[in-house]
Chain A
């Protein structure tokens, strides 16, 4: 079992650009959540996808959007990047009432 896999591992973008991050959940998991972890901080919840729909959303602007595919994999899109979007983006997968398994994250740097 490969666990939760995220790609790419590192990414550098310019202010104003758009970025797409990808996540493949642990085998058998149907729920994917995304978190943003700024340097020196705990992860913050962005949103969660289940059955290809956004089920919960944290306090993030509409520039942050996502998608879940029929195979349960997911994408996180961020438009109009700001310097403050630089962070480690973590994907977590789970089933109902199971613990969340996290990927190793994508380190996004906005310059």
Chain B
């Protein structure tokens, strides 16, 4: 079954520290993976997708098919990075986005 697992509900780091938000997936085909972010009082928005291989707001994510992971990384966290982060897999029986349960990132000053 297709599944997205985000093992950490809450991740707390200090400003300037590296951050890694974990995401593991289960999918039989070639996955298309995304990270969505929801800042406080704002709507959910796309942060990045693995196809584009972009770095957005200093975040990167590499697809590791061997480990079935798509971890989100940033070398130096900023307070404005505090938000809810969702990893999502495009797939499923209906070909829709399957979201993980989310990780709340808190960056302390």
To the question of whether A and B form a pair in one complex, the answer is: no
Residues of B at under 8 Å CB distance from A? none
